[in-house]
Amino acid sequence: MGHITKLIFIKNAVETLGYFSEQLAAEMERLGFLTYFVDYDRLFETVDGLTRFTGKGDTALVTFNFIGLRGEEVFEMAGEGSPGGSGTIWEKCGIAVYNILVDHPLYYHKWLVNALSGMKIFCIDREHVAYMERFYPGIPVKFLPLAGNVLCQNVPAPIPYEKRKYDIVFTGNYTPVEHLYREIDGLEADYRIFYRGIIEDLIAHPNISLDSAMEAHIRRELGEIPDTDKRSAIAGMVFVDICVRSYFRGEIIRRLAEDGVRIHVFGANWEKLCCKRAENIISTGREVDSKACVEAVRNARISLNIMPWFKDGAHDRIFTAMLQETVALTDDSRYLREEFTDGEDIVFFSLEERERLPEKVHWLLEDEKRAKRIAENGWRKANRRHTWSGRARELALAFE
C-alpha cells in the first residue's frame, strides 16, 4: 500500500452517518487530503466518477457501518469495469478500506465473516474492540470514539446560557418496547423464555455488557460451544439490544416527565410512549436530521444522553452537547469516567438508581451558575479532545 493522499466518503445512505462523514471529510481536507463523496442521491453518477478520482495505492475509503461494503450491486458493477476484471471497485482499484462501526459488532456479523482482505475496523467502545479481537481475530481493529457535531458551515457563537429556549432536550427516536416484544411473543415457547430471560437480566443489571449477558445465557442453555458458534448465536439476538435500548429510553423520559420535568424530544414516535404526564413531553412529532439536533442542543441548558449500552465508550450526543456549551447529562461508562469528572465538566446518572435522575435535573435548573460552569468546563475538555479535527488526526495515523 502506498502513501494515502485521497479519501472517499459516502453520504445520503444513512443521514447521521453522512453528517459524520461530512464533518470528518472537512477536517481531512484541512490536513491536506483530497476527498470525494459517493452520494446515494446521485449514486451511479458519483460511483462512475470514482475511477477518475482514484489512484492505485494512494486512495482509501472511509465509511461507517459497512456502507458500500454490503455487496451493493453498484460497487460490484463498477469493479467489473475497472482494471483487472470482476470484484468490487475497492478491490480492483486497490482502494484501502477503513470502516468505523458505531454499533456493537454483532450487528455486522454476516459482513465481518466475509470481510475484504486488508480492511481495518474502528470501534467506538473498547468492549467492542475486545469482542472483535476475540471473535474476528483476523481483522485489524482499533478504538476510535466518535466526536461532537457542530453546524457544518458558519458556526455561530454559542447562545448565552441564560437565554436558551429549552431547559432539557433529548435527540433520538422512540420505538415502543411493546411492539418489539410482539416479535418475541411469536416465537416458540423455549425461545420466548430464553430471550426474555436475557432482556430481564439486562434490565435488572444495567451495568453488565450486552455480549457478556448473552454469552452467560448461551452457556447456561447450551454449555460450552466453540466461539464460532457463539458469535453466530449472539449475532442472532440483535433485537435483544434493541429491546433493552428502547426500554431504558422510554423509562428515563417517562420518569422525568412524571416528576414534572418538561423535556423537549427531537425524534419520531414519542407520542406512543405511555406516560401519566405526557403533557411534559414536548415532541417534534417526526424524525429530525443531524443539523436540527445540533441546533436544538445549542439552544438547551441540558442535553440528556441515554447510552445505547456502551459500557466502555461514548455517544456523540455527549460531545455534541459539550461543544455547544450545554450541560451533558448521561449515564456513565468506564471510558467516560476516565475522560471527565462528575459535577465538574459532565453530570452522570445511574440506570440502576434512575429514580434519582429528576432531582439532578431540578438541581441543574435551579443552580444556573453552577450548571453554566459545568457546561463551560465541558466545552474546554471536548474542544481539546473530542472534535472531528482530533479524530481526523488519529485516523490519519492509521494510514501510515
29-72 pLDDT tens trace: 999 999 999 999 999 999 999 989 998 789 999 999 999 999 99
Confidence of residue 243 (pLDDT cuts 50, 70, 90): very high
End-to-end CA gap in the chain: 9
Q: What is the pLDDT of residue 1?
A: 42
pLDDT at residue 211, rounded to an integer = 93
Beta strand extents in the chain (DSSP E only): 6-11, 34-39, 59-64, 96-101, 120-123, 141-143, 166-171, 263-266, 281-283, 300-305, 327-331, 347-349
Same domain for 235 and 99?
A: no
* Residues 227 and 258 both lie in one domain: no
Burial class (CB in 10 A: 0-12, 13-18, 19+), 58: middle
In this structure, is residue 330 part of a structural domain? yes
pLDDT at 182: 82
Cα–Cα distance, 285 to 392 (Å, whole number): 35
Torsion of CA 353, 355, 360, 363, to 10 degrees: -140
Contacts of 164 (CB under 8 A, 6+ apart): 299, 300, 301
Considering the domain boundaries, does residue 118 fall inside one? yes
> CA 18 to CA 29: how far, in whole Å?
16
Question: What average pLDDT score do residues 318-330 get?
Answer: 98
Please tell me whether residues 192 and 126 are part of one structural domain.
no
For residue 177, name the pLDDT band (cuts at 50, 70, 90). confident
Whether pLDDT at 216 is above 80 = yes
Extract the C-alpha cell encoding 11: 453520504
Instruction: Work out the pLDDT band at 17, boundaries 50, 70, 90.
Output: very high
Residues 313 and 169 placed together within one structural domain of the fold: yes
Q: What would the DSSP string read from start to end of 225-289?
A: --HHHHHHHHHTTHHHHHHHHHHHHHHHHHHHHHTT--EEEESS-GGGS--TTGGGEEE-SS---
Q: What is residue 113's predicted lDDT score, i.e. its pLDDT?
A: 96
Q: Are residues 165 and 305 in the same domain?
A: yes
Indicate whether 251 and 361 sit together in one domain.
yes
Residue 2 has pLDDT above 70, yes or no: no
Name the residue type at position 383: N
Tell whether 284 is covered by a domain.
yes
pLDDT given at position 185: 83
Are 105 and 26 members of one domain? yes
pLDDT on residue 70 = 95
Could you report the per-residue pLDDT of 116-161, keeping only the tens digit for each?
999 999 999 999 999 999 999 999 999 999 999 998 666 778 899 9
- What share of the chain in percent tops pLDDT 70? 96
| pLDDT (mean) for 224-250 | 95
Domain membership of residue 394 (yes or no) is no
**Residue 356: domain span:** 161-176+244-387
CB 331 within 8 A of CB 351: yes
Count: domains in the chain: 3
Cell 453546524 belongs to 151
The mean of the pLDDT values for the chain is 94
140 and 99 assigned to the same domain: yes
Q: For residue 326, what is the domain's CATH number? A: 3.40.50.2000
Say which residue, 330 or 181, is predicted with more confidence.
330
Q: Is residue 383 domain-shared with residue 248, that is, in the same domain?
A: yes
- Please indicate, yes or no, whether residues 166 and 301 belong to a single structural domain of this protein: yes
Which of 192, 219, 241 is the endpoint of a domain?
A: 241
Evaluate whether residue 283 is within a structural domain: yes
pTM of the model: 0.95
Q: Do 119 and 10 belong to one domain?
A: yes
Q: Is residue 156 part of a domain?
A: no
What are the φ and ψ backbone dihedral angles of 164, each rounded to 5 degrees? -75, 150
Instruction: From 208, 241, 274, give the residue that closes a domain.
Output: 241
Q: Distance (Å, rounded) from C-alpha 386 to C-alpha 304?
A: 18
Residue 151, in any domain of the structure: no
**Which of these, 12, 97, 86, lies nearest to 398 by C-alpha position?**
97
- Write b or e for each residue in 90-114: b if 16 or more Cβ atoms lie within 10 A of its Cβ, otherwise e: bbbbbbbbbbbbbbbbbbbbebbee
In angstroms, the Cα distances linking 314 to 124, 246, 288 are: 7, 18, 21
Same domain, yes or no, for 254 and 352?
yes
